[in-house]
Amino acid sequence: MAERHVNLLHKKVGYQFGLTTAGWFFFLLMIFIIAAAVSSGHNLLYLTVCLFFGSFITMGNAAVMNLRGLQVERKEPEYLFAGTPHPVEIRLKNKRRLMDSFSLEVREISPRNEKPFGKVFFPLVGKGKEVKREYSLVLPGRGWHDLTGLVVMTRFPFGFWERSREILAPRHLLAFPRLFDAWPGHPSQLAVDGEYLGRRIGSGDDLLNFRDFQPGDPIRWIHWKNSAKTDRLTVALFHHPQNRQVIVCLKTCYDSQPSRTFSNHFEEAVSWAATAVVELLSRGISVGYMDETCRITPALGEGHKIQILTHLALVKHSLKGNSGSLSGDAASPSMSQEVVYIQATVTGVHIQAGQQDHLLQEAPHG
């Protein structure tokens, strides 16, 4: 799978710092010792205050030095599916020649103070070295999502100070609908069996006939079981997979204003439509798509799959009358076409599979 790469070195903003819980305890202890030194006048207490204060400042400066000279890179997958963990690689390089960096945490900037999408921890990044870590990015739903940037933070050396630096790297990510692990019922229900599949011969899954082995035929074409029965070498002929076309139909227009429960069922229906598209294309079957606002003719290939999934990632339900009707032929009438019709209801999702003309007439009443 292709990946996108972004170098974040030139997008850094100013340092941010603050005291941790342990740091506040140390600070209050130092204030208590200062008060004791002033009230008693003991030189030993003044010396202790100076040591505490000096170490406190030194730890803050050490945290700043620990963040300098760092180069951060992020690589995320090109295609993302909602609700599915996707590995995002974070590369952290220490460009300094003399000092290592310790105890570094890189996390995504939280949008609107929400929980960050992910974070990684680097115990040690040696001088001149590059270290890679991954976190799992899970996008909550389909559609567009924004990654604002990264935060590199450290509590080195003793955890009293927390120093951080934001790296602004906005990323607009499109999440495809969630894919289900298995189709409800037997996978063969994704398309109608026993119907006309076409005349072209190819390497599909449906057996057409047998013929005698001819000189020049590859050995792998021989059907050994049938050859043993007939006592002669025979070759199995299969229907070409492009003879089979399936239209995935998703109902997006409804009579009344959808409720929250219905909206959840519609999201499930979109996920089932995406699952059907991916599953059928993986079998080598030409897949088309149709709803009230969009019609995509059947085809094969990765680009065609991305075209349908992109539409499904952004599709919305609407009231009937604002869009066209879910009917008609989305592909060439000379080819065999089957339909997988998916509709959200108030109680769940209704799925049907059948021949195109018959199903598109009955589906709105189901």
Three-class DSSP category at 162: strand
Predicted pLDDT of residue 82: 94
How far is 86 from 322, CA to CA, in rounded Å?
37
Token pair listed for 323: 């869009």
Predicted pLDDT of residue 18: 80
21-40 vs 43-67: helix axis angle to the nearest 10?
A: 150
Tell me which residue has tokens 């909206």: 263
Q: Say which residue, 207 or 118, is predicted with more confidence.
A: 118
Region 102-122: mean pLDDT is 83
Over residues 66-95, the pLDDT tens digits come to: 888 888 888 888 899 999 999 999 999 999
Helices (H), 8-42: 21-40
pLDDT higher than threshold 90 for residue 211: no
pLDDT higher than threshold 70 for residue 283: yes
Token pair listed for 119: 């974070």
Closest among 122, 59, 129, 52 to 90, alpha carbons compared:
122
Written out in words, the top-level CATH class of the domain with range 3-176 is mainly beta
How far is 19 from 192, CA to CA, in rounded Å?
66
pLDDT higher than threshold 90 for residue 256: no
Among 3-7, 57-61, 259-263, 334-338, the range scoring the smallest mean pLDDT is 3-7
The fraction of the chain above a pLDDT of 90, given in percent, is: 26
Predicted pLDDT of residue 359: 40
For the chain, what are the domain ranges?
3-176, 209-239, 243-365
pLDDT higher than threshold 80 for residue 200: no
How far is 187 from 202, CA to CA, in rounded Å?
22
pLDDT higher than threshold 60 for residue 190: no
Region 201-226: mean pLDDT is 72
How far is 343 from 298, CA to CA, in rounded Å?
20
Closest among 167, 21, 156 to 106, alpha carbons compared:
167
Residues 288, 332 contacting (CB under 8 angstroms) = no
pLDDT higher than threshold 70 for residue 282: yes
Q: With cut-offs at 50, 70 and 90, classify the pLDDT of residue 51.
A: confident
Chain mean pLDDT for the chain = 79
Region 128-136: mean pLDDT is 93
Token pair listed for 40: 């008693």
Predicted pLDDT of residue 6: 46
Question: Any residues with CB less than 8 A from the CB of 350 and at least 6 apart, and which?
Answer: 342, 343, 344, 366
Over residues 290-348, the pLDDT tens digits come to: 998 899 999 888 899 999 999 999 999 887 655 555 554 443 433 456 888 888 888 88
Region 246-263: mean pLDDT is 82
Phi, psi of 360 (to 5 degrees): -70, -20
Predicted pLDDT of residue 220: 78
Region 47-67: mean pLDDT is 85
Region 160-186: mean pLDDT is 84
Residues 56, 147 contacting (CB under 8 angstroms) = no
The fraction of the chain above a pLDDT of 70, given in percent, is: 77
Q: With cut-offs at 50, 70 and 90, classify the pLDDT of residue 225.
A: confident
Q: With cut-offs at 50, 70 and 90, classify the pLDDT of residue 192.
A: very low
